[in-house]
Amino acid sequence: AHQALGNLEAASDAIKRGLGVDSTSADLKRMSREIDEAMRQKKVEMMIQQAESLMQSKDVAAAYKTLDSALRLDPNNKALNRLMDTVRPQYERAEKHRMASLDPKERIKEEGDTCFKNANFEGAIKAYTKCLDAISDKSSELALKCYGNRAACHKQLSNFEGTISDSTMVLEYKPDDVKALVRRAQAF
């Protein structure tokens, strides 16, 4: 009934309660899959509308990020891919312009961020280290970001000494930095 009325969340909750009573019911499992799929499609449609609205307000970066998230949910959606084909070149131009206007040290940090996003943790460590070598004030916001990001790379590579060392550097200047606290605790 909830599904027929378009209230997918309530329908999903009702089916989950039903599966709690009878976890072997093939009908409930099928209905659960159907509702999950309908909810996914609805979410993708909402994200497309949000991206279109963001493009109308000239927020290309936010539109790109919204579409990128939507593509993870539905990579074969034709409307989504068409919109991304329109947004991507604009985003890449804007990103290229943004990168060109950055301070050289910031640009090196951004290279590290890109490596990290692509799971190239060794490359990211090299970039963050290069940036840190160029920074004289190790307490600057940029230096602390590099230490924190490099700690995340070390953690991904199970280099716990590196994680502890870089997290400790962040905590010397920002003792309440939650990410640094968590990373360091996980490394012990």
What single-letter amino acid sits at 173? Answer: Y
Q: What is the pLDDT of residues 139-156, one digit of tens each?
A: 899 999 999 999 999 999
| Model confidence band, residue 6 (pLDDT cutoffs 50, 70, 90) | low
Delimiting residues of CATH 1.25.40.10 domain(s) in the chain: 103-187
CATH class of the domain at 8-99: mainly alpha
* CATH of 103-187 among 1.25.40.10, 3.40.50.150, 3.90.1150.10, 3.40.120.10: 1.25.40.10
The whole-angstrom separation of Cα 37 and Cα 133 is 50
Confidence category of residue 2, pLDDT binned at 50, 70, 90: very low
183: which 2 tokens? 């990373």
Query: Could you tell me if 37 and 47 are in contact, meaning their C-beta atoms sit under 8 angstroms apart?
Result: no
**What's the rounded Cα separation, in Å, for the pair 170 and 144?**
5
pTM for this model (two decimals): 0.61
pLDDT, tens only, 50-90: 999 999 999 999 999 999 999 999 999 999 999 999 999 99
pLDDT bracket for residue 33 (50, 70, 90): confident
